[in-house]
Amino acid sequence: MKELVLLLVGSALVNNFVLARFLGICPFLGMTRKLDAAWGMGLAASFVLVLSAMASWLVYEYILAPLSLEFMKIVVFILMIACLVQLLEMMLKKFFPQLYRAMGIYLTLITTNCAILGIALIVAGSDYNFLETTVFAIGAGAGFTLALVMMAGIREELEFADVPAAFKGTSLALIIAGIMSMAFLGFSGLVPM
Amino acid sequence: MLKDILISAGVMGGLGIIFAAGLAWAAGKFSVESDPKVELLASLLPGANCGSCGCSGCSGYAEALVAGEASVDACRVVDAEARQEICSILGIESSGSRKRQVAKVRCRGDYKLARWLARYEGVQDCRAAALVGSSPKGCHEGCLGLGTCAAACVFGAITMGEDHLPVVDEEKCTGCGACVSACPRKVIALMDYDVPLVVRCNSHDKGKLVREYCQVGCLACRACVNACEQQTLALVLDLVEVDPAKCIACGACAAKCPSGCLELMKPPAAETKMLA
């Protein structure tokens, strides 16, 4: 039990996917102008993250590894992630049309989000069991959402600040990201890797 | 070797089929019904995606119309019957007639008639040329002749003539206004299709200055104002302006103009294309 909690904290804070592993930067910069959009994106990506981590682990463990097809893992994972994102799109279109329209192309871009493929490659062939994989993925999703929401909060506040013209927009976002990463370095050593 | 290829292909194919089947089932379960009105309206709209309505293309405009966020008058390209149908589908009354407008060029200063201060060798776009410190053309408000308006027109209604002035095909022009937004000097403007008189000058400089850089610019000499018996002409900031409602197209002003910058349009043909 203690290991699971440590795993959760580890993937959410210590090795935060966005701020420590530098994966999933595209929505981190692209969907964080508004807090609502960041929330929506974070939860949608977390949904895909958890499902694809679980599915990837299962496929690797029970199909690819026994047939010695480990070399195919990247292609197979991409296939699965794409299908999961399509499923997510259909569900969002039906149940949350506002969010669907607000996210626009960024919803489809979750397919190419390196955090999702990243987590799939991390869990495949690692010595996590299925439960640990799921907890790891939930922590990763939570950390991803946290990073996005924090960034959105900061950016929304700075909308009203007197930012020099040269720094407006993406430059400021990158500077904020760098400072946030440095802050999250404070967590290192909290959980043994 | 062959066995490996077959197995990996088989696994990929098998997984693909399983996931495709799953997605197909999900598509059926999570299907969303889109409002059929949107598609009907989109089919009635011109489909040119010119953006003059302010929406993202004709389908975006159709959605906005159904949602009640856009007005029926926003589209300048749609013709009378389609507009009537759109109004009846939406259940609103069509609000009166809208006169057809076309783009007209308010400059005659080509390379021979106008004085150019320098040969412009930069980016061949009027917007770039207009940014140059002092205008390459003597007249700060005249047409630069690099064809930005022609490039902006999605209907192919504007071509550049041999004298480097834009020529508008008034039959193809739909009055969408893309060229007006594109022109950095606002030389091209939307006017009624059957306006009787067009002032072919855009310069608000005093006559003495205009004479220095253009043979066909408006000098604000008042010859036309005095010649007109209907009081349709007035001088506003050293440029002539016409009140189309009062003009009877007699041509007295055009005859008196020393620069020849007043152009009397031909009287409208028997079938004037007006929007009901």
Chain B residue closest to A81 (CA)?
B19
**A191 in any annotated domain:** no
Q: Which of B186, B190, B191, B199 is nearest to B140 (CA)?
A: B186
Fold of B195-266: Alpha-Beta Plaits (3.30.70)
* Six token digits for residue A123: 């869990």
Chain A residue closest to B25 (CA)?
A87
**A91 in any annotated domain:** yes
Decide if B37-90 and B195-266 have a common fold. no
Interface of A with B in 77-136 (CB under 8 A): 79-80, 83, 86-87, 90-91, 93-94, 97
DSSP string, B114-157: B-BSS---S-SSHHHHHHSSS-SBSSTTS---S-HHHHH-TTS-
Where do the structural domains in chain B lie, given as residue ranges?
A: 37-90, 99-193, 195-266
Residue pLDDT, tens place only, B10-41: 999 999 999 999 999 998 888 877 778 887 88
What percentage of chain B exceeds 70 in pLDDT? 94
**A174 in any annotated domain:** yes
Confidence band (pLDDT; 50, 70, 90) for B71? confident
Q: Which of B92, B62, B80, B124 is nearest to B273 (CA)?
A: B80
What does the pLDDT average to over B169-193?
90
What's the confidence (pLDDT) of residue B1? 84
To probe the interface with B, which of A63, A77, A78, A83 has the most B CB atoms within 10 Å? A83
Residue pLDDT, tens place only, A69-109: 889 999 999 999 999 999 988 988 888 887 887 777 778 88
Question: Across chain B, what does the average pLDDT equal?
Answer: 84
- Tell if the CB–CB gap between B27 and A63 is shorter than 8 Å: no
Asked if the interface predicted TM-score (ipTM) of this complex is over 0.85, the answer is: no
A80 min Cα distance to partner chain B (Å)? 8
What does the pLDDT average to over B131-158?
89
Residues in a beta bridge with B168 = B158
Cα–Cα distances in angstroms (integers) from residue A71 to residues A66, A67, A78, A130, B16, in the given order: 12, 11, 13, 21, 17
- Domain count within chain A: 1
- With 80 as the cut, is the pLDDT of residue B98 above it? no
Segment holding A25, helix H or strand E: helix A25-30
**A49 in any annotated domain:** yes
What does the pLDDT average to over B170-184?
89
Give the whole-angstrom CA distance, residue B221 versus residue B238: 9
- With 70 as the cut, is the pLDDT of residue B272 above it? no
B209 min Cα distance to partner chain A (Å)? 39
- Tell if the CB–CB gap between A94 and B23 is shorter than 8 Å: no
Phi, psi (degrees; rounded to nearest 5) at B215: -85, -15
Among the residue ranges A15-24, A42-51, A100-109, B170-179, the one predicted with the least confidence is: A100-109
**Which class is B37-90 in CATH?**
mainly alpha
Contacts of A74 in chain B (CB under 8 A): none
Cα–Cα distances in angstroms (integers) from residue B77 to residues A110, B34, B81, in the given order: 38, 26, 12
Residue type, A47: F
**A98 in any annotated domain:** yes
**Hey, what's the torsion of the CAs at B209, B215, B218, B219, to 10 degrees?**
50
Give the whole-angstrom CA distance, residue A113 versus residue A148: 14
Q: How many C-beta atoms surround the C-beta of residue A141 within 10 A?
A: 26
Give the whole-angstrom CA distance, residue B106 versus residue B143: 8
What's the confidence (pLDDT) of residue B267? 56
B184 touches B227 (CB < 8 A):
no
Give the whole-angstrom CA distance, residue B184 versus residue B130: 7
pTM of this prediction exceeds 0.80 = no
Q: Number of A to B CB contacts under 8 A, please give it.
A: 42
Host domain of residue A127: 2-186
- Tell if the CB–CB gap between A76 and B11 is shorter than 8 Å: yes
Q: How many C-beta atoms surround the C-beta of residue B1 within 10 A?
A: 5
Give the whole-angstrom CA distance, residue B12 versus residue B29: 26
Residue pLDDT, tens place only, B111-137: 889 998 888 888 888 988 888 777 888
- With 70 as the cut, is the pLDDT of residue B158 above it? yes
Q: Write down the architecture of domain B99-193 according to CATH.
A: 2-Layer Sandwich (3.30)
